[in-house]
């Protein structure tokens, strides 16, 4: 499994865009980049995933660098409810399990 590096914590003002970086320099060619978040005392919640193209859904946007060694999750208009730990996880297509790293604790401040 590819290893990831994420900043342990970040702060963002409510209403601003939150940009969460992830380094995955050892990612394999067939591995997608998945993002999950975990709000305190809840199970992880799927956010978005991508292979090499940028992706957008109703929750967030995912920007993947051309060399695929890093990516950025963007929450365009952060709210207080976006306060959570965000995990970036490389995972091969058809791969069974998700292996969690330490993630980034994002705090949205009023």
Partner 1 sequence: GAVVSQHPSWVICKSGTSVKIECRSLDFQATTMFWYRQFPKQSLMLMATSNEGSKATYEQGVEKDKFLINHASLTLSTLTVTSAHPEDSSFYICSARHREPGELFFGEGSRLTVL
Cβ 2 vs Cβ 27: under 8 Å: yes
Q: Is 50 one of the binding residues for partner 1 (CB under 8 A)?
A: no
Q: What is the residue-wise DSSP string for 1-57?
A: ----B--SEEEEETTSPEEEEEE-TT--TTEEEEEEEE-TTS--EEEEEESSS-EE-
Residues contacting partner 1: total by CB under 8 A: 19
Binding of residue 87 to partner 1 (CB under 8 A):
yes
Rounded to an integer, what distance in angstroms lies between the CA atom of residue 108 and that of residue 28? 33
Q: Which of residues 29, 41, 53, 66 is near partner 1 by CB under 8 A? A: 41
> Quick check: 7 binds partner 1 (CB under 8 A)?
no
Contact status: 25 vs partner 1 (CB under 8 A)? no
Closer residue to partner 1 in complex, CB, 50/103: 103
Binding residues (CB under 8 A) for partner 1: these are: 36, 38, 41-46, 87, 93-94, 96-103
């Amino acid at each position: 499994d590819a290893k990831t590096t994420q900043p342990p914590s970040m702060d963002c003002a409510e209403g601003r865009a939150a940009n969460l970086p992830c380094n995955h320099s050892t990612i394999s060619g067939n591995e997608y980049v998945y993002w999950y978040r975990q709000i305190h005392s809840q199970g992880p919640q799927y956010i978005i995933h991508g292979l090499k193209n940028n992706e957008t859904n109703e929750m967030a946007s995912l920007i993947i660098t051309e060399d695929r060694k890093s990516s950025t999750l963007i929450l365009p208009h952060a709210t207080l409810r976006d306060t959570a730990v965000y995990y970036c996880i490389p995972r091969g297509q058809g791969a069974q399990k998700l292996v969690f790293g330490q993630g980034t604790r994002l705090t949205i401040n009023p």
